[in-house]
């Protein structure tokens, strides 16, 4: 049975049980809107990565849930009937709100992207905005929430994600992390890297849009760039351990996990100073680069300005690295994040 057919069969079986008469049982049982949540260590991103962390303490309960927990970047296909089912059984709805659709990246699809986000947000009993930027963006494009809300940044396991025993020797190694699903992200990363010293190296992770070969040839950097591809979460710390600096090129990024993971591993961050990333990095864990910021167009910084920022970080790498690790441990460790969910779920039930 093909994957899509298996998913449909699981969803049909779930709905048969959801619609069957039942007597509500006391206690907390969380459903994340999807029948399967990746096991610890398996590949996960966005909302699915949060479900993966939460499911270790709050296992996924598709059939008899007493609380519905939704991630805006991983909303289920059957959102509307799920919200109806939650209301029918008196299950509170929590929405973890990430980014929104805006003209700069969604273009003519902005309204279509935002429709399910708005539906989930307005049905929520409690909204967790991943950053102040996420709250402002949601207020602008989705509307103000009806229930309670707060800002709760994403979290990182600072035990698993930790500085390696030793950094790579030789010239500096930059890591262009995450998925390169917008063409400007990879182009900015490559052009920034090309402006640095010739002994530098670049690691590129994730999915890549388009063929980078022509630009690599144009810049003359083919032999200094390694495309790592996608990787499982269990392999992520080792990849961060191969680099000295995270080069994060996405503008208006709501609350990137890759930034938190890099900081926990002692990697300072060079990034466009927009979105929620400045809230994560602060003034000590890297350097943000100013650029034209707004909703109508995504206009990243100039590669030369990004390269200057990388040079500044490399000139004081030990101090930036220590500050990045300290900030991740003090502000974004996963323990307090999970504890907060325990308290929130208890208050809602």
- Residue spans of the domains in the chain: they are 20-155+333-348, 173-332
Architecture of domain 173-332: 3-Layer(aba) Sandwich (3.40)
Are both 20-155+333-348 and 173-332 of the same fold? yes
The SS3 assignment for 85 reads: helix
pLDDT in tens, 159-186: 999 999 999 998 999 999 988 988 899 9
**pLDDT at residue 43 in the model:** 64
Question: Of 10-19, 241-250, 305-314, which gets the smallest average pLDDT?
Answer: 10-19
Average pLDDT over every residue of 35-55:
78
Spell out the alpha helix ranges (H) of the chain.
3-19, 46-55, 79-88, 103-106, 110-123, 132-141, 183-194, 213-219, 236-240, 257-264, 277-281, 303-315, 317-332, 334-348
How far, rounded to the nearest angstrom, does the alpha carbon of residue 155 sit from its chain's CA centroid?
10
pLDDT at 1 exceeding the cut of 60: no
Query: Is the CATH number 3.40.50 carried by domain 20-155+333-348?
Result: yes
Give CA–CA dist 121/116, Å, rounded: 9
Kindly state the percentage of the chain with pLDDT values over 90. Answer: 79
Burial class (CB in 10 A: 0-12, 13-18, 19+), 73: middle
Sign for the CA dihedral angle at 92, 93, 96, 100 comes to negative
pLDDT at 310 exceeding the cut of 70: yes
Give CA–CA dist 272/286, Å, rounded: 11
pLDDT at 47 exceeding the cut of 90: no
Q: How confident is the model at residue 192 (pLDDT cuts 50, 70, 90)?
A: very high
Q: How confident is the model at residue 297 (pLDDT cuts 50, 70, 90)?
A: very high
How do strand 93-97 and strand 67-71 relate by DSSP bridges? parallel
Q: How confident is the model at residue 232 (pLDDT cuts 50, 70, 90)?
A: confident
**pLDDT at residue 13 in the model:** 59
Q: How confident is the model at residue 37 (pLDDT cuts 50, 70, 90)?
A: confident
**pLDDT at residue 40 in the model:** 72
pLDDT at 25 exceeding the cut of 80: no
pLDDT at 238 exceeding the cut of 90: yes
pTM over 0.85: yes
Average pLDDT over every residue of 208-218:
93
The SS3 assignment for 228 reads: strand
Which tokens sit at 73? 């970047």
| Mean pLDDT rounded to a whole number for the chain | 92
The closest alpha carbon to 149, from 161, 139, 160, 162, belongs to: 139
Residues in the chain: 349
Give CA–CA dist 65/67, Å, rounded: 6
Q: Which of 2-11, 21-30, 232-241 has the largest mean confidence?
A: 232-241
pLDDT at 139 exceeding the cut of 90: yes
**pLDDT at residue 210 in the model:** 86
CB-CB neighbours of 313 under 10 Å: 25
Q: Which residues contact 207 (CB under 8 A, 6 or more apart)?
A: 179, 180, 181, 230
CB-CB neighbours of 13 under 10 Å: 13
pLDDT in tens, 90-99: 999 999 999 9
């Amino acid at each position: 049975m093909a994957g899509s057919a298996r998913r449909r069969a699981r969803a049909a079986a779930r709905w048969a049980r959801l619609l069957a008469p039942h007597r509500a049982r006391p206690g907390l049982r969380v459903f994340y809107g999807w029948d399967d949540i990746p096991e610890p260590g398996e590949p996960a991103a966005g909302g699915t990565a949060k479900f993966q962390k939460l499911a270790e303490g709050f296992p996924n309960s598709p059939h008899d849930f007493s609380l519905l927990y939704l991630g805006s970047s991983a909303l289920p296909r059957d959102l509307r009937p799920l919200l109806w089912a939650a209301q029918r059984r008196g299950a509170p709805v929590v929405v973890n709100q990430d980014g929104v659709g805006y003209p700069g990246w969604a273009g003519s699809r902005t309204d279509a992207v935002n429709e399910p986000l708005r539906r989930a947000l307005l049905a929520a009993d409690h909204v967790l905005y991943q950053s102040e930027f996420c709250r402002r963006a949601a207020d602008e494009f989705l509307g103000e929430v009806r229930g309670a809300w707060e800002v709760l940044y994403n979290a990182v396991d600072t035990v698993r994600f930790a500085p390696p025993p030793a950094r790579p020797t030789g010239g500096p190694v930059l890591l262009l992390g995450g998925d390169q699903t917008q063409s400007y992200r990879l182009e900015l990363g490559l052009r920034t890297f090309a402006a640095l010293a010739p002994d530098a190296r670049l690691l590129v992770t994730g999915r890549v849009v388009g063929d980078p070969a022509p630009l690599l040839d144009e810049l003359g950097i083919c032999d200094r760039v390694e495309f790592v591809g996608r990787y499982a979460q269990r392999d992520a710390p080792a990849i961060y351990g191969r680099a000295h600096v995270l080069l994060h090129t996405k503008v208006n990024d709501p609350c990137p996990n890759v930034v938190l993971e890099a900081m926990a591993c002692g990697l300072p961050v060079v990034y466009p100073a927009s979105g929620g990333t400045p809230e994560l990095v602060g003034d000590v864990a890297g350097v943000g680069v100013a650029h034209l910021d707004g909703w109508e167009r995504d206009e990243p910084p100039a590669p030369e300005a990004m390269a200057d920022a990388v040079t500044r970080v490399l000139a004081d790498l030990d101090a930036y690295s220590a500050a990045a690790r300290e900030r991740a441990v003090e502000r974004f460790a996963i323990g307090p994040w999970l504890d907060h969910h325990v308290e929130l779920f208890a208050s809602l039930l």
